[in-house]
Structure 1
Amino acid sequence: MATVYLVRHGQASFGKANYDQLSPTGWEQGRSLGRWLVGKVTPDAVFGGNLERHRETVEAIATGYGSQLPDMQVVPGFNEFDHNEVVTRFRPAWSDRTVMARDLQSFPKPARAFQEAFVQAVRRWASGEHDHEYDETWPDFKARVLQAFDEMIEFADGGDVLVATSGGPISVICQHLLELDDKRALALNEVIANTSVSRVLYSGPRRSLSVFNNYSHLEAEDPALVTFR
């Protein structure tokens, strides 16, 4: 059976003007994964969304890998949902970044406070009770991710594939393969580590999740590299 390696992007730049780029930690996470893949994985193809953090994650992996990786083929279906829209529909005042920063600084741990708000915002989005407020609903998001996944496997034609994507698409794919309800799928999304690897085995129409959220490459090099946001 062939393998799809679903990689969540490295840590993005939370709190910066451009969130959609890797932080210094994110770059090192990617290099660490690249070093770990040497001798274990030789992908026949590399895919990713069109987000900057996806492309930079592949660049970081290639640096650590040391050998030539196939060029990343861009598939927008592997993009994350619009987290800015999801958060600001939950907290409209946070459309002003200065207001959001001020609010978060009132907490002892701003990053944790944001994560708690983010979880609530995602649950609101996925509830189906406010679909008219979102450009992309939760069902629409799931449909486009699974379509991208199916098309990618058809293109791969039995080869091993590395996919740089985000936590949302990974959780949707795992939900589909394990036949989980939405509540459990959202719970998966909350625990997917940056540059973790989830493996899907496939042969023709058969697809099975064999590994979920492996980040042992980070723990082996430096446990401080383990991040979830």
Structure 2
Amino acid sequence: MGQIYLVRHGQASFGSANYDQLSELGMEQARLLGEWFASTHQTFHRVVTGGMKRHRQTADACIAALPKAQRVDIEWQTDADFNEYDHHEVLVRHRPEFDDPEEVKRFLASSPRAKYAFQDIFQASMSRWMSGLYDHEYREPWPRFRSRCVAALRRVMSGTEKSQSIIVFTSGGTISTICQHVLGLQDKQVAELNWTLVNCAVTKLLFQPDRVTLSTLNNYAHLEWLGKPHTITYR
């Protein structure tokens, strides 16, 4: 039985000019994951990354923490179908004023419960995107995003020999959507699941040629292992 480890990227640079860049903490999270895999003697036959910078940075920092014997023969691939949806477009189609980063900063600064208020707005933005009523307004409508995530998963499965282990560095929305496919979740549950995924957490799938099952979801024991709560982040 093959194994696919889906890793959400480390903490990115939320609020900066370039979100697609790991923060210093994000690099530490990725390194801790690699050290965890090293301590458990986990080996991988293939590394797959999405096409985003934060995916590759997470992969590089994680795999570099493995002993040389565990990483020397790993095959590397990039598959942009593991990329995240365009969260900025999803947000501004619902709240056009948030196209201006300064407006987002003003909103966060003026809201007494900014984190939760912004989460409510983004949840509504996701519902609009997924509703099917406005597909013509998005460069990548929800059905197209869902289809490419599932297609990416199937490519990994079809290109893998029996009992191999593959690690995929991707994003929360992609992982949540793949879980929807595996578990038969409703669209609403995808958005809810996405909020719970920890940076650099691992979701493990087991598969055979004709089926795939969920083994573990959102495992971040490697971050708890350090004993420092600040290493557990969601954004």
Same fold (TM over 0.5): yes
Distance 1:83 1:168 in 2: 9
Which one-letter code corresponds to 2:110 in the other structure? S
Structure 1 residue 71 displacement after superposition: 5.1
Which one-letter code corresponds to 2:18 in the other structure? N
- Inter-CA distance 72–110: structure 2 relative to 1 (3 Å threshold): farther
Structural mapping, 1:48-197, within 5 Å: 48-67=49-68, 68=71, 70=74, 72-158=76-162, 159-197=164-202
Distance 2:128 2:198 in 1: 23
Distance 2:60 2:98 in 1: 32
Which one-letter code corresponds to 2:84 in the other structure? E
Which one-letter code corresponds to 2:48 in the other structure? F
Structure 1 residue 105 displacement after superposition: 1.3
- What is the TM-score when the length of structure 1 is the normalising length? 0.95
- Give yes or no for contact 1:3–1:161 (8 Å, CA) kept in 2: yes
Distance 2:190 2:96 in 1: 26
Distance 2:102 2:84 in 1: 24
Structure 1 residue 30 displacement after superposition: 0.4
Distance 1:57 1:71 in 2: 16
Give secondary structure in 2 for the equivalent of 1:190: helix
Which one-letter code corresponds to 1:120 in the other structure? A
Deviation digits for residues 141-164 of structure 1 (CA, Å, limit 9, x no counterpart) = 000110111011111223210000
Distance 1:160 1:54 in 2: 18
Distance 1:99 1:181 in 2: 33
2:31 counterpart of 1:31:
yes
Give secondary structure in 2 for the equivalent of 1:161: strand
Structure 1 residue 112 displacement after superposition: 4.0
Structure 1 residue 111 displacement after superposition: 4.0
Give secondary structure in 2 for the equivalent of 1:47: strand
Which one-letter code corresponds to 2:223 in the other structure? L
- What is the TM-score when the length of structure 2 is the normalising length? 0.92
Structure 1 unaligned blocks of 5 or more:
none
Deviation digits for residues 120-178 of structure 1 (CA, Å, limit 9, x no counterpart) = 21121111121111111111100011011101111122321000001111111111111
Give secondary structure in 2 for the equivalent of 1:43: coil
Give secondary structure in 2 for the equivalent of 1:84: helix
Structure 1 residue 113 displacement after superposition: 3.5
What is the number of equivalent residue pairs in this alignment? 229
What's the Cα RMSD here? 1.4
Structure 2 unaligned blocks of 5 or more:
none
